Amino acid sequence: MKQRIFMYLFIFSTLLVLFQYVNSKRVFEDLNSKLEKNESKIKAYKDSLDVLEDAFLDVSHFNLDRNEDAISYFERDGYKVDELIPFIKDELYKLNEAKGEHPLVPYDSSEGRKMMINTIKMLNHKWIIADFSDGEFWGEIFLTYEITDDKELKFKLVESFLYPLY
């Protein structure tokens, strides 16, 4: 009788070990397949990230924040660039509040509206590109700016265009 109990116990333990082995192998293979999928996704994401970094570097080439020569131009005159850039943008946005037509946008707005500068990109220590709109018409302007000896900020319109309505 003891031998049968040991034999049943042995068979039961063997089946239990076999079951655990098969189950563990299935779990291990499932985890490996998930790992391979994730590794391929990571590789694709890294490739995408490399493409985006290259595109970012191309786009940010003409950007005051990344132009050391333009920054040093302001620093030589004693300006703090991290305070000066927002000041220049704020002064340009303040022109949106002028009575009547916008002083820098050379186009009349549609009825009951006003041309306003929406987005500003400072290219370097002398040039700005901005877009404007009145909600119906839109366009872009190219400006130069300078800070005079009296610490006054002056803008000059160089070029502009208005997108046609389709």
Reported as a single tens digit per residue, the pLDDT across 44-95 is 999 999 999 999 888 877 888 888 888 898 899 888 888 999 999 999 999 9
Percent residues over pLDDT 90 in the chain:
57
Q: Which pLDDT value is given to residue 119?
A: 94
Same domain, 72 and 145: yes
Among residues 9, 27, 59, the one where a domain terminates is 59
> C-alpha 26: how far from its chain's center?
43
Same domain, 115 and 155: yes
Token output for 158:
């160089």
Least confident of 34-48, 95-109, 132-146: 95-109
Same domain, 149 and 72: yes
Q: Could you tell me the pTM of the whole model?
A: 0.68
Same domain, 51 and 130: no
- Mean pLDDT score of the chain: 90
C-beta separation of 123 from 140 below 8 A: no
Token output for 109:
């707005």
The answer to whether residue 1 scores a pLDDT higher than 80 is no
Same domain, 125 and 147: yes
Same domain, 44 and 84: no
Same domain, 48 and 87: no
User: Domain range for residue 50?
Assistant: 1-59
Interatomic CA distance for residues 148 and 78, integer angstroms: 13
